[in-house]
Amino acid sequence: MKCVECEHIEPITFDRTAFWIYPPTSEATSELVARLTASGLDADKLDGNALVVTVGRDRIADLISQVEAVLKGPELSHAQVLTTAGHDPKPADIGRTMPLDVFISRYESGWIVESIENDRFETWFQPIVSANNPDPDRPFAREGLFRMSDSQGNIVPPGKVFGIAGTSDLLFTLDLVARRSAVESAARAKIDSKVFINFNPSSIYDPAYRLRTTAAAIRELGMQPSDIVFELTETHRARDAEHLKGILSFYRDAGFGVALDDIGSGWSGLNMLHEYKPDYVKIDMDLVRGVDTDTVRQTIVRHLISIAREIGIVTIGEGIETEGEAAWMTAAGTDYLQGYLYGKPAPLTPRASASEQAQIQKATERFTARVADPRLVKARE
């Protein structure tokens, strides 16, 4: 699944790295220079609030420790840093300028970059079945769930992976890798159902451009936009509501489905139904869990299902683990069900032939080459 264009993330440190640091105040600069010098690091104060310190790889962790001892909270996020390979800044280096707290997060999340570059990730799938005919062997859809492993082969919880990526300015790259993995894995397994793919709207800068390339990749992989449902989780809402509406509108116009996850988990769920009018909504598993014996949950879920039905939205009950939960949700009018009762997330066995898999890989590489983030990825030389 190697793709040089999307998976070779430009380094932010070198054998000898010059750190050009810009604290928010002159007092912070003076204190930082004094502390770095006292710890044996060669720091020079420059014009204004700037300073520069050059270190080998073995002293980067020490440098970060000294910086964090001086700059706290907002000072760390307001300070800027530019790294170069031991030389004065050049125009080509400007892209590595970032808030100091983001740099520290990126440095500490190096294992994510390493896992991406070494293909230590995959997509597992969980069935979504019809409530009236719950056959996990012939599901209505399968949700693609991203899984990443560390260097010891341990799977890291997805929430932790994406949380770290968010604070490290790696979200665009990770979201792209996860999306590509889901589509490619579905094509290799010749999935004969719809595929739900999670997406983060904050990682999409140009909806029209990303949509065209995504649609082209889907067709090259032997699928149609109608086979794909892009799933937005409530925790991944875009800060700009109009931007998100534009993204969802582009997807619908191209024939993709749109789903909203975790309805009922937050105060804004009903407002999001009105604002974004998704094709599908997933009722949060915290409401579904034990719903057959909890009258309060029952009242809330009935209202959610009723509202969704009235505005033409298909409902999916998440987190189904018992026959009792499944029976109650079905009787309440839920359209589809998802949960451990019907299958845990698991990788699918590839069914495509060797020649088909080669074509799938080429199509996926063309897709990622077209949508690579120029800020974070290194073009093939």
Domain boundaries, the chain: 4-99, 113-370
Assign 7 a pLDDT band (cuts: 50, 70, 90): very low
Q: Which amino acid belongs to residue 316?
A: I
The residues, ordered by sequence, that sit 6+ positions from 237 with a Cβ below 8 Å of its Cβ are: 201, 244, 268, 272
Report how far residue 193's alpha carbon sits from residue 139's, in angstroms, rounded to the nearest whole number: 7
Length of the chain in residues, anyone?
381
The pLDDT of 243-270, averaged and rounded, is 79
According to DSSP, residue 82 is labeled E
**Bigger pLDDT: 5 or 257?**
257
Percent of the chain with pLDDT strictly greater than 90: 63
The pLDDT of 244-271, averaged and rounded, is 79
| Topology (CATH level 3) of domain 113-370 | TIM Barrel (3.20.20)
The pLDDT of 334-340, averaged and rounded, is 98
| The predicted structure's pLDDT at residue 123 | 97
Q: Is 239 exposed, middle or buried (0-12, 13-18, 19+ CB in 10 A)?
A: exposed
Assign 329 a pLDDT band (cuts: 50, 70, 90): very high
Write the pLDDT tens digit of every residue in 175-227. Answer: 888 988 999 999 999 999 999 999 877 666 565 656 666 677 788 888 888 99
Is it true that domain 4-99 has CATH number 3.40.50.720?
no
Report how far residue 128's alpha carbon sits from residue 185's, in angstroms, rounded to the nearest whole number: 17
Report how far residue 42's alpha carbon sits from residue 142's, in angstroms, rounded to the nearest whole number: 56
| The predicted structure's pLDDT at residue 55 | 97
Q: Which of 325, 324, 321, 317 is nearest to 130 (CA)?
A: 317
Q: What are phi and psi of 267, to 5 degrees?
A: -65, -25
Beta strands per DSSP E along the chain: 16-22, 43-45, 51-56, 80-84, 98-99, 121-130, 141-149, 155-156, 194-198, 228-232, 257-263, 280-283, 314-317, 336-338
Report how far residue 369's alpha carbon sits from residue 94's, in angstroms, rounded to the nearest whole number: 22
Report how far residue 132's alpha carbon sits from residue 341's, in angstroms, rounded to the nearest whole number: 15
Write the pLDDT tens digit of every residue in 64-116. Answer: 999 999 998 899 999 999 999 999 999 999 989 999 999 999 999 999 999 99
Report how far residue 325's alpha carbon sits from residue 335's, in angstroms, rounded to the nearest whole number: 14
Report how far residue 187's alpha carbon sits from residue 183's, in angstroms, rounded to the nearest whole number: 6
| The predicted structure's pLDDT at residue 374 | 40
Task: Look up the pTM and report it.
Answer: 0.84
| The predicted structure's pLDDT at residue 217 | 73
Q: Which amino acid belongs to residue 140?
A: F
The pLDDT of 25-41, averaged and rounded, is 95
Contact 255, 225 (CB under 8 A): yes
